Amino acid sequence: MQARDLQTDGKGRLKHFLCIEGLPRALLLDILDAAESFAGVGERAVKKVPLMRGKTIANLFFEASTRTRTTFELAAKRLSADVLNLNIQASSTSKGESLLDTLRTLEAMHCDMFVVRHGMSGAAHLIASHVADEVRVINAGDGRHEHPTQALLDCFTIRRATGAWAERGSSSLVIAIVGDVLHSRVARSDIHAFNTLGVGELRVVGPKTLLPNAVETLGVHVFHDPEAGLCDADVIIMLRLQNERMQGALLPSALEYFKTYGLTPARLLRAKPDVVVMHPGPINRGVEIDSAVADGSQSLILEQVRYGIAVRMAVMSMAMGSLPRTRPPRSMRDD
């Protein structure tokens, strides 16, 4: 997919944000540092900065998502941008207009940025490879491929909680990602991010039916036994179990899954005493996580949501060139 070429400009600055794979470590750290500066905005009485005032951001959600769309919408509004929420199902694509014609139309309306969620892996890349030079594309989740802003907010949350990657050094943390890695774009993005930033040990934990073939080649240790997989972990990331997996060929039942892999207080004792627990949400209580853990003192699940807005503000303003540099002169395509 040549994501690297698409994601940065000639000087290595962020242009589109499509996937973690291939992004250089220094750039990931730059985004985390920028997010740090936005983390306080949500705490202020006036939760707004004028960095993207007068910009138009179009949320193109081909898959329904209240949570992710809302965080992108809030991030855009707190950057003072104008936001268009486009219900793609109801739009001209139902009149037979092609995706690229829809994009060209939105470009002609001088949209500055597309935030794209699509069920097809590679959709954001496809769009980024066709948009005009001055338009920016942010991937808000494409098929089973990547969900890169989620991975970044996971890194940010871990950094805030543990001090990892704070001094730009590597980390000796043991991180365990538990559950349905096979169908999870969050897991794929997390694995790339943690390996790029550097960790002590990165583990995936789950039944064979929910782990990709040859997942070891991604640079992870594989555990099918949760007791072993959680042993001495510093960070546990629980993945959501999709309803459609809970019955049928891949799993016997939700209850069975919870018995074996669900994160309970007892199972949590296998990890380090100061372990932190994360989950991309929405959580299935009693399926992949026990309420006592989800609501417990070691849970960072709400911190992830909170930092998600700061991280998205950082990605959006850096891609737009609003943050560390002045925006390059717009290429006058047609005038």
Binding-site ranges for a copy of itself (CB under 8 A):
42-48, 53-56, 64, 66-67, 70-71, 73-74, 77-78, 82, 84, 86-87, 90-92, 95-98, 101-102, 104-110, 243, 281-285, 302-303, 305-306, 308-309, 327, 330, 332, 334-335
Distances (CA, A) of 300 to 120, 156, 169: 30, 11, 23
Give the number of residues written for the chain.
335
CB distance 196 to 254 below 8 Å: no
Strands 276-278 and 201-205, bridge-based pairing: unpaired
Cβ contacts of 328 within 8 Å, gap of 6 or more: 321
Report d(CA 124, CA 115) in Å as an integer: 9
- 5 versus 97: smaller Cβ distance to a copy of itself: 97
Q: Which two tokens stand for residue 331?
A: 């290429």
Q: How far is the CB of 250 from a copy of itself (least distance, A)?
A: 18
Which amino acid does the sequence have at 197? L
What is the smallest separation between the CB atom of 209 and a copy of itself, expressed in angstroms? 21
Give the nearer residue to a copy of itself in terms of CB position, either 25 or 130: 130
- In degrees and rounded to multiples of 5, residue 218 shows phi and psi of -80, 0
As measured in angstroms, the least distance from the Cβ of 277 to a copy of itself is: 15
φ, ψ dihedrals at 135, nearest 5°: -90, 145
Whether 200 and 240 have beta carbons less than 8 Å apart is answered as no
Q: How far is the CB of 257 from a copy of itself (least distance, A)?
A: 14
Residue nearer to a copy of itself on the CB measure, 202 or 251: 251
Nearer to a copy of itself, 103 or 268 (CB): 103
State which residue, 223 or 307, has the beta carbon closest to a copy of itself.
307
**To the nearest whole angstrom, how small is the minimum distance from the Cβ of residue 240 to a copy of itself?**
9
Residue with smaller CB distance to a copy of itself, 22 or 281: 281
CA atoms within a 13 Å half-sphere pointing along the CA-CB vector of 75: 31
> In angstroms, what is the minimal distance from the CB of 200 to a copy of itself?
26
User: How does DSSP classify residue 144?
Assistant: T
